[in-house]
Amino acid sequence: MSKPLTFTIFGSTGDLTYRKLLPALYQLQTRDLLPDDLAVRCIGRRNLTTEAYLETAKPWLVKGSRFPFVESVYERFAKHITYVEMSLTDAADFKVLAQTETERDYLYYFAVAPEFFETIAQNLKSSGALNQGQHRIILEKPFGIDETHARHLNQVLSGIFKEENIYRIDHYLGKEMIQNILTIRFANRLFEGIWNKDYIQEIQITASETIGIENRGSYYEQAGAIQDMVQNHLLQLLSYVLMDQPDDFSPEAVQSRQVELLKKIRPAHLILGQYGENGDLKAYREEAKVAKDSQTETYVSLHLEVDDPRFKGVPIFLRTGKRLDQRATYISVIFKPTKGSLFNDLHPQREMLIIKIQPDEGVYFRFNAKKPGIAHQVSTVMMNFCQSCIYENRINTPEAYERLLNDAFIQDRTLFTNWEMVDLTWSFASQLAQFQIDHQVNLEFYSSESKGPESADRYLDAFDSAWIPADITEEVFTL
């Protein structure tokens, strides 16, 4: 039997806690997954009572809940929460947390900037808070501010906590369709049999957002889209799409295949953009806590090559951006024309597999078929599996943070990343920074609600390609 848990959130008045962590806890309450003896301590610098804190949090729960908000569920949820005012940098304040008991387990969520990780861990240790009971930590991304800092941080943290007690979160791993990628690939001969350069023309991975940076100017100025999205979420996605089959589905086996793959990717072309032309009131440079001459990228389009016989020469395109015209995350795998096919002269659409991650979830396969009628026409048709169209699936699909918090509570580390992965993604970020210098990649500006910099479209022209939209359309060709 596991012991009762005390869950402590550092950074409890921040965006992440209000937008994601508290709604996730509330969902778990709705699903009766929060044990009655769970204590949640929300740490913040502001002078607030627990009642005042909950009052601020409540609208976020209403807004962020995938189930209708129910007052009686909220009352049960609120009983777990205590707001604790303290400074993260003042070691003396940590005495409040030092009243630990052997018969409880402790889990700390570092929902703060990485500059504070070391101080919090050291203060927890020196205050005696870690002396009794079992202590685990969840680290929000980014893990460090650069490669050197990340390595230093890892050394410090692993001197205080055992690796098995460190949970590095990448919330994309908690998304249902991302977990589905390996099943779609390895449970279907049809796909796995053709998952190589002989059949695949190109792969595109898109994570397009309509929101801007919201209230996170100071964080974003330091991170930019490369560190915020590419280095973690998109590389996770990419490695699931391209890695070899693992020996089993244990986290160790899966992550070792991911690591193998990530060691083989090389940047071939990079386009960086920033939203807002001059004078645009919604421009990135007009956001709070952003420099008026900021060079931070809010858009990335990256062409990658994989140094592996299986995918040699297959271009992999990643793109992500803020304030674009659409919210959609999806993977498009475009197949080559069939050698010697009688239909090739007609240039029918290429077959394509699209795995939709969000907001719609599903798998779409586009192929060519004869259009019914006397005229000999070929039309592109679609097989659609819309997972999220089924009510029961929607209800059974937890939000990423809901899933991951529950996993951490029950000590399941399957969907958390290990240090080797994190280290490798930092090396890749450094490689990109160097590539940017070597190839003099300049920032391009794009209008809000657009598709991003036009040069990203032009670049794909050279590959006789274009960005695949999230909703592909059907077309007819006459023989």
Binding site for ligand BG6 (CB under 6 A): 209, 228, 329
Nearer to ligand BG6, 228 or 287 (CB): 228
- Angle between the N-to-C axes of helices 22-30 and 50-64, in degrees from 0 to 180, rounded to the nearest 10: 70
Nearer to ligand BG6, 100 or 208 (CB): 208
Least separation in angstroms between residue 209's CB and ligand BG6 is: 5
Nearer to ligand BG6, 171 or 413 (CB): 171
Least separation in angstroms between residue 181's CB and ligand BG6 is: 15
Nearer to ligand BG6, 172 or 195 (CB): 172
Least separation in angstroms between residue 72's CB and ligand BG6 is: 29
Least separation in angstroms between residue 394's CB and ligand BG6 is: 16
By annotation, the residues acting in catalysis are: 233
Distance (Å, whole) CA 174 – CA 141: 14
The Cα-based distances of 28 to 38, 160, 347, 390 in angstroms read 12, 30, 51, 21
Phi/psi at 470 (nearest 5 deg)? -65, -35
Least separation in angstroms between residue 233's CB and ligand BG6 is: 6
Positive or negative, the CA dihedral 396, 397, 398, 404 is positive
The number of CA neighbours under 13 Å toward the Cβ of 412 is 10
CA 215 to chain centre: 19
The Cα-based distances of 260 to 44, 150, 245, 252, 426 in angstroms read 40, 20, 11, 12, 15
| β-sheet bridge partners, residue 85 | 44
Least separation in angstroms between residue 49's CB and ligand BG6 is: 30
Long-range CB contacts for residues 424-428, cutoff 8 Å, separation at least 24: 424/259, 424/262, 424/263, 425/231, 425/232, 425/235, 425/262, 426/143, 426/144, 426/146, 426/147, 426/150, 426/151, 426/231, 427/147, 428/231, 428/235, 428/262, 428/265
Least separation in angstroms between residue 358's CB and ligand BG6 is: 6
Distance (Å, whole) CA 77 – CA 26: 6
Least separation in angstroms between residue 76's CB and ligand BG6 is: 27
**Token pair for 457:** 């479209």
Nearer to ligand BG6, 115 or 163 (CB): 115
Distance (Å, whole) CA 185 – CA 191: 6
Distance (Å, whole) CA 268 – CA 159: 38
SS3 433: helix
- Nearest Cα neighbor of 114 from 139, 89, 91 is 139
Residue nearest ligand BG6 (C-beta atom): 228
Distance (Å, whole) CA 91 – CA 220: 28
Least separation in angstroms between residue 219's CB and ligand BG6 is: 8
As to burial, measured by CB atoms within 10 angstroms (0-12 exposed, 13-18 middle, 19+ buried), residue 442 is exposed
Listing DSSP states for 304-355 in one string gives EEE-STTTTT--EEEEEESSBS--EEEEEEEEPPPTT-TTGGG-PPPPEEEE
The C-alpha angle with vertex 357 and arms to 383 and 266, in degrees rounded to 5, equals: 105
